[in-house]
Homo-oligomer: A and B are copies of this chain.
Amino acid sequence: VQKTLPEPPVSEPRDHASIIDVANLAGVSPTTVSRALRGLKHVSPLTRARVEAAASELSYVASPAGSGLASGRTFSVGVVVPIVTRWFFAQVVAGAATVLREAGYDLLLYNLVDASGREQFFERMPLRRRVDAVLVVSLPLAGHEVSSLRDLGAPIVTVGSRDPAFPGVRIDDAEGTRQAIRHLVNLGHESVAMISALEDDDMGFAAAIDRRIAFREALPDATQNPHIVAGMWGLQGGQSAMAALLGGEKLPTAVFAEYDEMAFGAVTTLRKAGLRIPGDVSIVGFDNHELAVMADLTTVAQPVREQGEVAARLLLDGLSGASDPETDVVLPTHLVVRGSTAPARHPHGLRRGVGPAVASSP
């Protein structure tokens, strides 16, 4: 008799127990194992218990490939984000992840990063037959992108877009912007700039567009020449946009940033330039980023993680056929007033004394 050879030292693909192993151990057919383990009706409690015991003894988990092929379901969901390292997107992903996990779905993450990644994604459509549903975050979808997604034949839900093609969750960006501008106007600011990554932005939010339009409309007097400076995105975008404003003829008394990370960039540049916030310039952001409190930043708060959660639930509804494709959930925003905004100094001479709040300068 030949002796058993020693096992290879490290992990080679192990043989996992199959449904047949479980069936044999439990003394039933594979069909019954399948039914019992999926919690279907019409299995006697005794049988079910026996099957479960056998499955657990063998550490059996149904092969996703096997069941996927047979059933057409993957039990996973694709989540498409522009840039997962941006705070907003990570929050949305986390919110969705929680809900999906509870429902037993895996999360396939597609991080588009830039225009070329986006193109590749929609061309190759790696989602095809890989996912049961798709969550698309913050992308204003082009026509061919909409049809690519439609062709998936799977439920699609958007976050932060208002594309009528799919159900979605979002905030009212125009209203949020108005909340910010109203605050600045009430403080007496007459020279307000907006800094935005919009122009430069292949990955542009739908939100960015709405915020810009609302910004223009919300300023009381069109002659005040709202100033939109496009930069790169994120912190660096905010820095360079603010630098551009500093290099301009007349510094605005207040700046509205498309989102908090740009506001942070503006804060950074202002501090480096030795200017005080809000003494010299007031700043309002958008999002209520976790670190807005450190920057003492006045900002328009939106529920972020919740948008991911709600969207995931809509997706699950779609999967169970219980959804209304017309759904458009709009979550509320509110202004959080912190120390980065103060009444306007009126730069044209009339210095009405206004005690700016504490500006911590390094």
Contact = CB atoms under 8 A, between A and B. Distances in A.
Interface of A: 10-14, 16, 59, 61, 63-66, 68-69, 72, 74, 76, 79, 83-85, 87, 90-91, 93-94, 97-98, 101, 106-111, 113, 117, 124-126, 128-130, 150-156, 234-235, 264-265, 267-268, 271, 274, 276-278, 290-291, 293-296, 305, 325, 339-340, 358, 360, 362
Nearest to A234: B290
Contacts of A83: 94
Given A107-B109, A108-B76, A264 B294 contact: yes
B69 A93 contact: no
Nearest to A290: B235
Indicate how many identical chains form the complex. Answer: 2
A72 to B, nearest CB: 7
A140 to B, nearest CB: 20
Contact of A325 (B10, B325, B358): B10
Contacts of A91: 85
Residue among A12, A91, A295 with the most chain B CB within 10 A?
A: A295
Residue among A16, A234, A278, A293 with the most chain B CB within 10 A?
A: A293
B155 A11 contact: yes
A97 B111 contact: yes
Contact of A128 (B61, B66, B72, B150): B61
Given A76-B108, A107-B111, 16 more contacts: A14-B153, A61-B128, A63-B129, A65-B65, A85-B91, A85-B94, A98-B111, A98-B113, A101-B111, A235-B290, A271-B294, A271-B296, A274-B358, A277-B362, A294-B295, A340-B362
A65 B10 CA distance: 27
